[in-house]
Amino acid sequence: MKVFVAGATGAIGRFLMPQLLAAGHAVIGMTRSEQGARAIRSMGAEAVVADVFDPAALNAAMARVLPDAVIHQLTAIPKVIDRRRLESQFGETNRLRTTGTRNLLEAASDSGARRFLAQSVSFAYAPIGAAVKTEEDLLYAGAPPKYRPLFDAVASLERQVLGAEAIEGVVVRYGFFYGPGTAYASDGSVANLVRKRRFPVVGGGRGVYSFIHLADAAAATVAALGREGPNVYNVVDDEPAEVRWWLPIYADALGAKKPFSAPAWLGRLAAGEYALYLMTEQRGASNVKAKAELGWAPRYPSWRQGFREALG
């Protein structure tokens, strides 16, 4: 297939591009800069320079390429997240998920592409009931106003992609990324906080995280590109885990001291409502469907092994 990748230079894009090429696809990567274009060409793919918020440039690029499939991997999460203002760090990513998705979908449909695969997250499920969610479960529609825009933007992306009429939409809900270039890599922002013992287990730490290594996320994405839409897959490892279980093991993998514990009120004061939600209420996700339908299994089935062997 001829595959157009928006977000080719990002954390997941850098893993995905080589895997698409290795699978035999003709791959075109999109970036906003000449530097990005050089990076894409050095991976062995073709590059186009366009901003997703410039529909004229985007449509022209897509009309030139005429892809069979378009992959949406656009986010703009700051490299260093200010945990005291966690909720306000996602404005640009929200815009990429709402307006950016609309622009990309339109350009893809107008150019005659058959399939549209988009990045979502496995940590937007409603925090009610079971600790581990399947694709059938509800997304979080009633989040508190402070962090509701984040969940609303994810829901908008999924609605647009899965409801598209002129193109088959596939959504991949990735777990928390780790690996080179992520916040959990040994030079990443979470690692720095954990080393400084400023990432405690808050409020008992019963919030559930599902992780996925970037290489495994890319492999599942290549497989999902071959599936008909509309369709949704959780792309996570085999072991959803409460914060109180994974955080000490992550600290150990970094060679850091054991994290402190902190009460919920202190966590809320220091890091805000959303951080407290992540620590205490968030649900994990199941990869049963992805494994059954994609012929995929993660090379790092558990973060226990992945943190030690491939943190980046």
Ligand X SMILES: NC(=O)c1ccc[n+]([C@@H]2O[C@H](COP(=O)([O-])OP(=O)(O)OC[C@H]3O[C@@H](n4cnc5c(N)ncnc54)[C@H](OP(=O)(O)O)[C@@H]3O)[C@@H](O)[C@H]2O)c1
- Which residues contact ligand X by CB under 6 A? 6-11, 13, 31-33, 36, 51-53, 74-77, 96, 121, 174, 176-177, 182-183
Residue 227 is classified by DSSP as S
Residue 167 is classified by DSSP as S
* For ligand X, the closer CB: 19 or 75: 75
Helix ranges (H only) for the chain are 13-22, 34-42, 55-65, 91-95, 101-110, 148-162, 189-195, 214-224, 243-254, 264-280, 288-294, 303-310
Instruction: Please answer whether residues 107 and 267 qualify as being in contact, where contact means their C-beta atoms are separated by less than 8 angstroms.
Output: no
Q: Beta partners for 183?
A: none
Shortest Cβ 185–ligand X spacing (Å):
8
CA dihedral in degrees (132, 134, 139, 143; nearest 10)? 0
* For ligand X, the closer CB: 76 or 132: 76
Cβ-closest position to ligand X: 10
* For ligand X, the closer CB: 6 or 28: 6
Shortest Cβ 143–ligand X spacing (Å):
17
Rounded CA gap, 97 and 84, in Å? 23
* For ligand X, the closer CB: 33 or 88: 33
Shortest Cβ 9–ligand X spacing (Å):
4
Shortest Cβ 70–ligand X spacing (Å):
13
Shortest Cβ 201–ligand X spacing (Å):
20
* For ligand X, the closer CB: 247 or 262: 247
